[in-house]
Amino acid sequence: MAILVIGGHSREVGKTSVVAGLIAALSEHSWTAFKITQYGHGICSRKGKPCQCATADHNWAISEEKDRSGESDTSRFLLAGAQSAWWVRTEQGRLAEAMPTIYRKLAESKNAIIESNSILKFLSPDLYLTVLNPATADFKPSAREFLDSADAILLHDTSPATRPTGWGMDLNPVARPPIFRIQAPNYIDQEVVQFVRERLQECAERRP
């Protein structure tokens, strides 16, 4: 089984589009897709909205997506061709509590693609790609923590005028892996697809 993780430095940088694009382009892998969302204080993991339920069983939740309309992120995964899609919600910093269930779902999968940075604290994927958009100044601590672990960087091709100065770092020293320039709405091109396909094949050949 191959595990592919797609992360990103902030919200709304195209992670879901990258996942959906790879599912569609690499349909032979029969993907099980996961989206992991960690909520801040006061948001119920079961309901995905503010509530006052402080019970332990609301610290995390996982649900299988059945809708193929493309209305939600996990629905987009199904629409792209995923065999199944799961949405994992946890309180910030409590992903560990959901991991036993995630491990079981992974064990039942032919291959898995996961939208998350924090999952890297609990497993070592075959391939980790991170999406960076210089036009978005926010940089999640989890994305910064694992940036050096990326097998490739998918970098939005923005003009110098839109690039922020708030990242507090220069990308070049950490950009040892390949960098692929991407643009919305077609985040995935043949070059990225070929890179992922070849790397997954190499991983498969190394397995006993």
Pick the CATH number of 3-206 from 1.25.40, 3.40.50, 1.20.950, 2.20.28: 3.40.50
What digits encode the pLDDT tens for the residues 173-200? 555 789 899 988 889 999 999 999 999 9
pTM of the full structure: 0.86
What digits encode the pLDDT tens for the residues 11-23? 889 999 999 999 9
Among 8, 1, 37, smallest CA distance to 128 is for 8
